[in-house]
Amino acid sequence: MTNQSADLDWTPEGVPVSRRFDDPYYSNENGLAESRYVFLAGNDLPARFHGGFHIGELGFGTGLNLLAAWQAWQEAGIGGALLYTSFERYPMKRADMARAISRFAELDGLARALFAAWAPGSGEASLPGLRFRLIEGDARQTVPQWSGCADAWFLDGFAPARNPQLWEPALLAEVARHTAPDGTFSTYSAAGHVRAALSRAGFQVERRPGFGRKRHMSVGRMAP
Ligand SMILES: C[S@@+](CC[C@H](N)C(=O)[O-])C[C@H]1O[C@@H](n2cnc3c(N)ncnc32)[C@H](O)[C@@H]1O
């Protein structure tokens, strides 16, 4: 299937909004704090980081989650490289990613390094402490074909009601199939059908308080 690129509007605060899905890429309030809360803390990171740790992500978007994880990895001083594989159907242009990330001054150095070494279409990048791969295409097709296995998944599609493709039970079953024993997922969503599908796929699913004004989010661990 041919990829199309992201179609964007911008809020006055500088947050990109997808016209296709009518949803912002990250919280208008503090996207970086939300990323750390939902995806890092939600997967018990950085505490679980170890050599060769592999993060999988549905929905690369602006690269904010990647940069937050890479920064946490560097600060944890694990050594070696964090492996990060993200799946994206509608890649943003590099200039738009850089603009979206420019709101977060503390990520400036890492963002510059990433966007100097990598652009959509170039696939992989090796940087100090990071081996990153973006797999372009519809995740419903690309995840089943992936030969890798993640220790932690960041499930970050747009809202399930607007972007149901990225929350289909068959795709979530593939996420589970590509999860290491004792691996985990987290998502900002607490939608009942998403939690039920993840549970059927083999995760022990737990509801936690959400970030900011969101009441709940979901996390889970592969059942032994
Ligand atoms: C909320 S945004 C992700 C935000 C991102 N994690 C970040 O750090 O900026 C959701 C992403 O899912 C992507 N997406 C939507 N449907 C998809 C599909 N079927 N396969 C792969 N990616 C998809 C969108 O293009 C968008 O980039």
Cα separation, 136 vs 60, in Å, equals 10
Instruction: Please tell me whether residue 164 adopts helix, strand or coil conformation.
Output: helix
Domains of the chain: 8-222 (3.40.50.150)
The ligand 1 atom nearest the CA atom of 138: 20
> What does each of the 224 residues of the chain score in pLDDT, given as a tens digit?
345 788 999 999 999 999 999 999 998 889 999 999 999 999 999 999 999 999 999 999 999 999 999 999 999 999 899 999 999 999 999 999 999 999 999 999 999 999 999 998 888 999 999 999 999 999 999 999 999 999 999 999 999 999 999 999 999 999 999 999 999 999 999 999 999 999 999 999 999 999 998 999 999 999 87
Q: What's the pTM value of the predicted model, to 2 decimals?
A: 0.97
> For residue 91, how far is its CA from the centre of ligand 1 (angstroms)?
8
> For residue 108, how far is its CA from the centre of ligand 1 (angstroms)?
22
Instruction: Write out residues with Cβ below 6 Å of ligand 1.
Output: 6, 25-26, 59-65, 87-90, 138-140, 156-158, 163, 165-166
> For residue 156, how far is its CA from the centre of ligand 1 (angstroms)?
6
Cβ proximity of 181 and 222 under 8 Å: yes
Which residue out of 156, 168, 186 has the highest number of ligand 1 atoms within 8 Å of its CB and is therefore the one to mutate? 156
The ligand 1 atom nearest the CA atom of 23: 1
Closest residue CA from atom 13 of ligand 1: 59
Task: For the sheet with 23-24, list strands across it.
Answer: 8-10, 16-18, 23-24
Phi, psi for residue 134 in degrees, rounded to 5: -105, 125
β pairing state of 150-155 and 179-187:
parallel
> For residue 60, how far is its CA from the centre of ligand 1 (angstroms)?
5
Q: Which residues of 118-152 are buried (b: 16+ CB within 10 A; e: fewer)?
A: bbbeeeebebebbbbbbbbebbbebbeebeeebbb
Q: Hey, which residues does 9 pair with through a beta bridge?
A: 17
